[in-house]
Structure 1
Amino acid sequence: MYEGADSKERYNRIKSKIIKKYSNKWWFDVHKRVKPTYAAKSRLDKQALGNAASFAAQKSSFLGGIVQEQLQDALKMIPSE
C-alpha cells in the first residue's frame, strides 16, 4: 500500500514487474485483492483507538476481546483465494 503523489506510477511499475516475472494470471489475482485490502485498511484506520482507549483495551480482557473481534472482522474482508 502506497499513498502519495506518484502512487499510480508506482502501482504501474509493480504491475509490470509482476507480469514480467510471473504472468498475467498472477497479476489478475493480485489485482482482484487490491480493492478489498484497501477497504480493510481504511476500516482499520477509521477504527483506530486513542492512547487512553488503546491502553484500556490492553489491560482489559473484555475490551481487548472487542478490539480483537473488530480487527478480525476487518481482516475477513480480504479474500484468501
Structure 2
Amino acid sequence: MDYLVKDLVSTDKLYEWGAVCSEVKGKERSKAYNLAVPLWLERMVNEGKILLNPAIIKELKSLNWRPTDLHKKMIWASIVCKLDAKVQKEEKARIRTLIQKKYGNDWWEEVYSRAGKVWPAWDRYRKNVLSMGPGAQMLAMHSTVFGEAMLHELDSVLNMVPKT
C-alpha cells in the first residue's frame, strides 16, 4: 500500500492516477487514493504546480489538505487551464471524459468555466516566473531583494485566481 501511495503522490498528472494503480481494485484502491490526495495536493501547491488563491490554500491547510467538492473543481480548473496547446487537446478531452463520467456534465462545465478564469494567472506565472533562466533563478535564491520580488510576483499571480 505504501508504495502505491508514494507512486500516486509522485505522479503530477492527477488524471493518470487510474493507470498508476490499475492492478489495484475496490477498497484498497479507494484507501490509497484517500491517503494520497492530501500529500499530493500539498506537494503540488508547494511546488507551484497548481495555482490556487492564497485564501483557498489557507483553507486547505486548515482541512489537512482534504479538498471539498468546490476545492476539487478549483484544482481541476488549475490543471485544465494549463492545457492550452494543440498537442494537449487529447489530455483535455481525457480529463473531460473522466470528470463527466465521475461527476457529470454540469460539474465539467463549471470546471471548464473556472479554468477560463484561472488562465490569465497561469499565463502570467508562465511568463514571469517559469520563464526565468538559470541565472535569474540562482540570483533569486541568493539575493534577498530579488527573492522577495519573485515571492511578491508569485503572490500577485495567486491572488489573480478567484476565491469562489
TM-score by length of 1: 0.75
* Equivalent position amino acid for 1:35 in 2: G
* Equivalent position amino acid for 2:137 in 1: S
Distance 1:66 1:78 in 2: 19
Aligned partner of 2:93 in structure 1 is: 12
TM-fit CA distance, 1:65: 0.9
Distance 2:163 2:112 in 1: 13
Q: How many residues were matched structurally?
A: 80
Aligned partner of 2:160 in structure 1 is: 77
* Equivalent position amino acid for 2:122 in 1: K
Matched, 1:36 2:111: no
Distance 1:70 1:16 in 2: 35
Aligned partner of 1:51 in structure 2 is: 134
Distance 1:28 1:79 in 2: 16
Stretch deviating more after TM superposition (10-19 or 66-75): 10-19
Structure 1: gaps spanning 5 or more residues:
none
* Equivalent position amino acid for 1:49 in 2: M
Structure 2: gaps spanning 5 or more residues:
1-81
1:2-53 per-residue CA deviation (whole Å, 9 max, x = no partner) reads 3343x33432332132122112332132112212333222212211322222
Distance 2:151 2:127 in 1: 15
Distance 1:76 1:37 in 2: 10
TM-score by length of 2: 0.42
Distance 1:28 1:11 in 2: 13
Contact 1:33–1:78 (Cα < 8 Å) also in 2: no
Residues 59, 50 of structure 1: alpha-carbon distance in 2 compared, 3 angstrom cutoff: same
Aligned partner of 1:62 in structure 2 is: 145
Identity percentage over the alignment?
31
